[in-house]
A = this chain, B = another copy of it.
Amino acid sequence: MSNPPPFSHIAIIGLGLLGGSIGLAVAEHLPGATTTGYDLDPATRQRAAQRGLVTSVCATGAEAVADADLVIFCVPPGAMADAARDLAPALPAGVIISDVGSCKVSVARALGEALPGHTIIPAHPVAGTENSGPDAGFASLFQKRWCIITPPEGADPEPVERLSAFWRQLGANVELMEPAHHDLVLAVTSHLPHLIAYTIVGTASDLEEVTQSEVIKYSAGGFRDFTRIAASDPTMWRDVFLANKDAVLEMLQRFTEDLTGLQRAIRVGDGDALFDHFTRTRAVRRSIIAEGQDDARPDFGRSDHKPG
């Protein structure tokens, strides 16, 4: 049998950007599979049902996970422990538990403590937009993006392979990684950029000499690229920074040192140091485009991945 569906019933807990996108992607790529969904927020459940994010939206988490062979927690990192504890009595035997959290050490610990004895294979699809909630998801969110799976030490390879197959069928590339290394990599590729973007957007909002209206009018000079990621879900990002504190603070320390170096070059008028630095960073962009993780077209190729 080629490409057997790795799971026949996927329960999605949390129906925001990620949960909704998984539901839509399963419908598109795994038409034989059933999806059930639950969200704490009744308005989100109602909207998820209207958009058809999953086969059926359930009134309780227990109902959603009954008979599931895969349960994916799609809630902010800080809400994982409570969500898992609530469902623990209802989980069927043999079910595989996973998640989509941006921090893996803390989430693995939270799920492990809440669900002792269960097979837990954490995962993180590195994909997203600045939008959140049940209207934000779309089926192609994971296309050509990486999904990092962080199996606990000594994990049985069989569920790991099934979860990998699942993500590949949704269009993602899959990579296995140690949880601690994941958290360090994401601290630099995702968490630090978000922190910096949140900071500069705040700085620009607080100036007395430059009005808010001027900041907005002239944002095409570079600022607007930062506002996109600084518009991301505040709850999720609060949780990410608290959950991955050590790695984020470490990367922030390196960033601050480098910034101080460039600040000094500007202050003393060292044009050669600035030019050398700016030439080096240009090459990184070329590599990202060559690897297909962004696009040189003016729309960054985002027109290939429309919501809906």
* A interface residues, Cβ below 8 angstroms from B: 78, 102, 126-131, 145-146, 148, 175, 181, 184-186, 188-207, 209-210, 212, 214-232, 234-235, 237-239, 241-242, 245, 248-249, 251-252, 254-256, 258-259, 262-263, 266-267, 269, 271, 274-275, 277-282, 284-288, 291, 293-294, 296-303, 305-307
Contacts and interface: CB of A to CB of B under 8 A. Distances in A.
- How many copies the complex holds: the figure is 2
Contacts of A271: 78, 238-239, 242
A254 B207 contact: yes
B219 A189 contact: yes
B248 A212 contact: no
22 contacts: A127-B220, A146-B220, A175-B217, A184-B210, A185-B218, A188-B207, A189-B222, A190-B223, A191-B222, A196-B259, A198-B277, A200-B255, A216-B287, A217-B291, A230-B278, A230-B285, A231-B282, A232-B282, A234-B282, A297-B306, A299-B302, A303-B303
Given A218-B185, A285-B227, A196 B196 contact: yes
A238 B262 CA distance: 11
A285 B130 contact: yes
A196 B269 CA distance: 18
